[in-house]
């Protein structure tokens, strides 16, 4: 009994340590990339444009852009995983062999992880290019256009998916063809047995002894009959599993595309309104802050009052609030510089430009840092929404944790190797994609710890997460606690 409890605790501790190890291992590359992105030369486009859009506009724009990249890359990974799984189910389910579900999950997981990382790298690279060439005004236009196009992209995705489902009917046709072939074989076997029975009756009428040859023939026919029945049952079970899996994949695909289309609208509206105030010359007025608070409250109230409150609405509200907080941190950074200078005495008039430059630089740095942190938490939580349900509904917590950890480690190595090609923006986006994979592992750990009947295993898992993160990462206790809580909440939430 003691050995069993010790074994449960050891398993939980090992899996938790693995999840914490991956969560902590990503911190150092992200912090290094963020340090490189917040140098004076890299911040120059932000410093130049903060006077145009204002501190509020810069904060909301950076927050909305970073969260949009995070959400879009996760949805892109889910779409790739859904396509891979759908193709795998369709092609593997043809014939009498059963679908290898282990290979199915491996293929879908790899496709999703690579899709998320690649899309994050692409979006990060494109964002960096837009900011360097067109400034924050160009980023505002790109974000607005993308937000307008997302509902259209949703329509295109749905149409293409329906076309793909039509192609998947070929798998069902293969099932029907094999069922017809088995029906013909069954009919032939019945006719053959009927003839043998007639011959046996005639033989019995002529002589009363048994024929060993006839008995062997009947045994063979019985085995053939049992084999046909077994194959027919396998076909029926395989077709039911194929339809169930395809329906589940379609549901996930449709829901995440809806999430892509609508979740970013609230925070994009906030960013556009505050940026337009800044471009109009009112970015520094106090009523802009009041308008921002009122806008956030009104949008949040309208979303909450909707009868059909969906998960993507909740995430949209959270993204909007995160954008608001990033704007507040951006303003506070500038105010801290003013307070610091006032404590030292009023600066001379000749130093007014220098003070303004310091405020702009510090505000831009705070906006970028806060946006990256918010995007990282967003990626992490969305990854947990995938890892948690996999454990709660499909089981196999250890397999999910180990698989996600191995994939995240491989992607992290790949990002380090390809850093010179990706650039700083592309590297940041790719690392955020890796964060979502680590979120899958941590979501699986949280779901396993919550569902496990053994208190020792749950305690071991949590202890392992803390120790693994402290050994490999640069996180302090507060951030570790925040990420564990986020992983638990999103892992145990019914997303749709």
pLDDT tens-digit map of 40-70: 777 787 877 777 777 788 888 888 888 888 8
Q: How confident is the model at residue 283 (pLDDT cuts 50, 70, 90)?
A: low
Mean pLDDT value across the chain: 76
Sign of CA dihedral 484, 490, 493, 494: negative
Q: How confident is the model at residue 95 (pLDDT cuts 50, 70, 90)?
A: very low
Find tokens 């692409």 and name the residue.
Answer: 122
- Per residue in 107-160, pLDDT tens? 888 888 899 999 999 998 998 888 888 888 888 888 889 888 888 888 888 887
Is 71's pLDDT higher than 50? yes
**Nearest alpha-carbon partner for 372 in 329, 333, 410:** 329
Is 96's pLDDT higher than 50? no
Is residue 139 within 8 A of residue 127, CB to CB? The reply is yes
- Residue 493 vs residue 64, higher pLDDT: 64
Left if phi > 0, otherwise alpha if psi is -120 to 50, otherwise beta: which for 475? beta
List the Cα angle 437/438/444 in 5-degree steps. 95
- For residues 109 and 444, give the distance between their C-alpha atoms in angstroms, rounded to a whole number: 13
H/E stretch holding 131: helix 101-206
Tell me, what's the pLDDT at 350?
A: 45
> Tokens at residue 132, please?
């360097």
- Residue 191 vs residue 161, higher pLDDT: 161
Q: What is the 3-state secondary structure (H, E, C) of 15-45?
A: HHHHHHHHHHHCHHHHHHHHHHHCCHHHHHH
- For residues 450 and 452, give the distance between their C-alpha atoms in angstroms, rounded to a whole number: 6
- Residue 476 vs residue 229, higher pLDDT: 476
Tell me, what's the pLDDT at 327?
A: 77
List the Cα angle 153/157/160 in 5-degree steps. 135
Find tokens 């990974």 and name the residue.
Answer: 77
The CA-atom distances, in angstroms, between 11 and each of 156, 180, 278, 438 are: 45, 49, 55, 19
- For residues 268 and 288, give the distance between their C-alpha atoms in angstroms, rounded to a whole number: 16
Instruction: Assign 3-state DSSP to the chain and report helix, strand, coil percentages, each to 5.
Output: 90, 0, 10
Percent of the chain with pLDDT strictly greater than 70 = 71
Q: Computed over its alpha carbons, how large is the radius of gyration of the chain?
A: 30
Q: How confident is the model at residue 195 (pLDDT cuts 50, 70, 90)?
A: low
- For residues 425 and 52, give the distance between their C-alpha atoms in angstroms, rounded to a whole number: 23
- Per residue in 287-316, pLDDT tens? 777 777 888 788 777 777 765 556 666 677
- Residue 175 vs residue 431, higher pLDDT: 431
Cβ-count burial of 325 within 10 angstroms (0-12 exposed, 13-18 middle, 19+ buried)?
A: middle
- For residues 116 and 134, give the distance between their C-alpha atoms in angstroms, rounded to a whole number: 26
**Full DSSP string of 325-337:** HHHHHHHHHHHHH
Enumerate the domain spans of the chain: 2-491
Task: Return the half-sphere exposure (C-beta side, CA atoms, 13 A cut-off) of residue 398.
Answer: 8
- Per residue in 373-428, pLDDT tens? 888 888 888 888 888 888 876 666 678 888 888 898 899 888 888 888 888 888 98
- For residues 489 and 410, give the distance between their C-alpha atoms in angstroms, rounded to a whole number: 27
- For residues 467 and 482, give the distance between their C-alpha atoms in angstroms, rounded to a whole number: 15
Is 471's pLDDT higher than 50? yes
> Tokens at residue 165, please?
């489902």
Mean pLDDT of 253-266: 81
Is 286's pLDDT higher than 70? no
Tell me, what's the pLDDT at 99?
A: 45
Find tokens 């909740």 and name the residue.
Answer: 314
Is residue 371 within 8 A of residue 411, CB to CB? The reply is no
Is 197's pLDDT higher than 50? yes
**Nearest alpha-carbon partner for 399 in 432, 364, 454, 447:** 447
Percent of the chain with pLDDT strictly greater than 90 = 1
Q: How confident is the model at residue 94 (pLDDT cuts 50, 70, 90)?
A: very low
List the Cα angle 226/227/233 in 5-degree steps. 90
Tell me, what's the pLDDT at 374?
A: 86
Beta-carbon contacts of 77 under 8 Å, excluding residues fewer than 6 positions away, are 111, 112, 113, 114, 115, 116, 117, 119, 433, 436
> Tokens at residue 224, please?
């053939």
* 3-class secondary structure, 281: coil
> Which pTM was predicted?
0.80
**Nearest alpha-carbon partner for 249 in 53, 81, 425, 25:** 81
Q: How confident is the model at residue 98 (pLDDT cuts 50, 70, 90)?
A: very low
Taking residue 429's Cβ as centre, other Cβ atoms within 10 Å add up to 32
- Per residue in 9-22, pLDDT tens? 788 888 888 888 88
Q: What is the 3-state secondary structure (H, E, C) of 398-441?
A: HHHHHHHHHHHHHHHHHHHHCHHHHHHHHHHHHHHHHHHHHHHH
The CA-atom distances, in angstroms, between 235 and each of 92, 93, 95, 189, 413 are: 13, 9, 8, 19, 43
Is 82's pLDDT higher than 80? yes
Is 239's pLDDT higher than 80? no
Tell me, what's the pLDDT at 216?
A: 62
Cβ-count burial of 460 within 10 angstroms (0-12 exposed, 13-18 middle, 19+ buried)?
A: buried
Largest Cα–Cα distance of the chain, in whole Å? 129
- Residue 461 vs residue 177, higher pLDDT: 461
- For residues 439 and 487, give the distance between their C-alpha atoms in angstroms, rounded to a whole number: 7
């Amino acid at each position: 009994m003691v050995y069993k409890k010790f074994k449960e605790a050891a398993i939980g501790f090992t899996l938790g340590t693995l999840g914490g190890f991956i969560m902590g291992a990503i911190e150092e590359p992200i912090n290094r990339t963020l340090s490189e992105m917040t140098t004076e030369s890299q911040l120059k486009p932000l410093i130049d444009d903060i006077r145009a859009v204002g501190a509020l506009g810069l904060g909301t724009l950076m927050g909305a852009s970073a969260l949009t990249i995070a959400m879009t890359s996760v949805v892109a990974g889910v779409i790739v995983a859904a396509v891979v799984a759908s193709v795998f189910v369709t092609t593997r389910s043809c014939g009498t062999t059963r679908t290898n579900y282990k290979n199915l999950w491996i293929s879908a997981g790899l496709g999703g992880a690579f899709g998320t990382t690649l899309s994050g790298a692409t979006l990060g690279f494109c964002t960096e290019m837009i900011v360097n060439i067109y400034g924050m005004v160009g980023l505002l236009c790109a974000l607005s256009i993308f937000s307008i196009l997302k509902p259209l992209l949703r329509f295109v995705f749905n149409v293409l998916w329906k076309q793909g489902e039509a192609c998947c009917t070929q798998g069902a046709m293969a099932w029907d063809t094999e069922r017809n072939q088995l029906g013909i074989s069954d009919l032939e076997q019945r006719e053959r047995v009927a003839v043998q029975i007639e011959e046996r009756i005639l033989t019995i009428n002529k002589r009363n002894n048994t024929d060993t040859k006839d008995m062997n023939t009947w045994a063979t026919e019985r085995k053939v009959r049992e084999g046909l029945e077994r194959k027919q049952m396998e076909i029926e079970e395989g077709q039911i599993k194929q339809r169930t899996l395809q329906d589940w994949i379609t549901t996930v695909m449709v829901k995440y595309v809806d999430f892509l289309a609508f979740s970013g609208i609230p925070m994009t509206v906030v960013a556009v309104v505050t940026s337009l105030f800044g471009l109009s010359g009112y970015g520094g007025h106090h009523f802009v802050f009041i308008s921002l608070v009122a806008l956030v409250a009104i949008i949040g109230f309208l979303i909450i009052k909707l009868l059909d409150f969906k998960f993507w609405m909740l995430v949209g509200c959270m993204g909007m609030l995160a954008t608001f907080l990033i704007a507040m941190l951006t303003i506070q950074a500038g105010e801290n510089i003013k307070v610091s200078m006032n404590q030292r005495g009023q600066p001379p008039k000749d130093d007014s430009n220098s003070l303004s430059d310091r405020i702009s630089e510090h505000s831009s740095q705070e906006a970028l840092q806060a946006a990256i942190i918010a995007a990282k938490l967003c990626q992490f939580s969305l990854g947990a929404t995938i890892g948690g349900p996999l454990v709660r509904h499909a089981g196999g917590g250890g397999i999910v944790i180990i698989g996600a950890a191995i994939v995240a480690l491989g992607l992290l190595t790949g990002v380090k190797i390809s850093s010179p090609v990706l650039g700083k923006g592309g590297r940041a986006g790719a690392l955020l994609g890796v964060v979502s994979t680590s979120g899958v592992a941590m979501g699986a750990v949280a779901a396993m710890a919550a569902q496990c009947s053994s208190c020792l295993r749950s305690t071991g898992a949590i202890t392992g997460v803390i120790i693994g993160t402290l050994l490999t990462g640069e996180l302090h206790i507060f951030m570790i606690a925040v990420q564990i809580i986020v992983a638990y909440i999103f892992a145990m939430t019914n997303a749709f």
